[in-house]
Amino acid sequence: TGGPTRPGSWTGPFLKSPTSPNAGELYSFPRAPFSIGDDTGATKAVTQERQAEADLATYGTLSPYRGKVEIGEVHLGRVVDDKTRDERKERSVDGEYVVLEVTKQAAEPIDVSGWALASGKYKERTLIPYGVQTLILGQTQPAERIVVSSGNQLIVTSGKSPVGSSFRENMCTGYLAQYQDFTPYLSSRCPSPTKEFDTYYTGPSFDAKFCRDHVASIGSCEYDPFVPKELPSACKPFVDQYLHHNGCVATHRTEAEFLKDTWRIYLGKSRTLYADTYETVRLLDADGRIVDVYAY
């Protein structure tokens, strides 16, 4: 049925039952198509069709989004308690995440809010929540449906969000990592502080060099509220307005390259969702149909 890398190799084979008690048939193993030598196009088509039928019988109804969104990776959290008898509390829930990839077959945007990730071993499913397109710290923002397109990536973490909600990455989100821990790490590429200074500083030009030298010492994606008193009076207001997350968002949110291709989605669980071994993670659409399966 496709070799040991196919999810079916971890969950089967299953005996095929007779069509009815009086049919005079025996229980039998499902048959897999095979060929000798190079497959012709027709043979490959038949093989793919039969594989789809086998997956349908094994996992359930196939989704029309199958092949458009795929499970790329499943990462387990680090071991935090190797003495517990509950294997789901043995690992860190904040370090457990699934990477979903939106493929080139997705010709139109796809709404994934209400989809679910399900554990085959624990027989549980967890819904993908709403998120915030452009996060602003310190403000209550209404959550919206998460709509993705070809080339997008979703990092779905089992634990709680360090900033209180799911969000889409942008050119300013690197600032969030200064005071919060993210797994995997957020990119540390933010607009250059010196470039921001050259573009937006409005203080007196005759002493601007001293402020620029200070700004050049500030690292990318780092907010440093301390500004020496001997610097020009316009220096601290500039730093406080532009060189932090919210200031960066206010400055750049209308630019074409502001939004990135990755969503950070948090399921808000207090314990892990997936087993260490012999696990089958399923991605389900809003109607419970199989989008993809990842087995390990």
pLDDT digits (tens, 9 = 90+) for 217-227: 999 999 999 99
94 has pLDDT over 90: yes
237, pLDDT greater than 60: yes
pLDDT tier at 42 (50, 70, 90 boundaries)? Answer: low
* Percent of the chain residues topping a pLDDT of 70: 80
Q: How many CB atoms lie within 10 A of CB 2?
A: 14
> Average pLDDT of the chain?
88
The per-residue pLDDT for 196 is 97
Q: How confident is the model at residue 33 (pLDDT cuts 50, 70, 90)?
A: very low
**Comparing C-alpha atoms, which of 4, 292, 276 is closest to residue 122?**
276
**CA-based radius of gyration for the chain:** 26
Whether the pLDDT of residue 43 is over 80: the answer is no
- Per-residue pLDDT band for 243 (boundaries 50, 70, 90) equals very high
pLDDT for the residue numbered 6:
60
What 3-state class would DSSP assign to 169?
strand
What is the distance between the alpha carbons of residues 67 and 57, in angstroms, rounded to a whole number? Answer: 18
pLDDT band at 32 (very low <50, low <70, confident <90, very high): very low
Residue 6's identity, in one-letter code, is: R
Average pLDDT, integer, range 77-92: 88
Instruction: Answer with the residue of higher pLDDT: 121 or 35.
Output: 121
Over the stretch 261-282, which tens digit does the pLDDT of each residue have? 999 999 999 999 999 999 999 9
pLDDT at 164 over 60: yes
Question: What span, in angstroms and rounded, lies between the C-alpha atoms of 136 and 88?
Answer: 33
CA 125 from chain centre, in angstroms, equals 17
DSSP state of 113: T
At 168-217, the pLDDT tens digits run 999 999 999 999 999 999 998 999 999 999 999 999 988 899 999 999 99
Query: Which candidate, 245, 64, 275, 69, places its Cα nearest to that of 154?
Result: 69
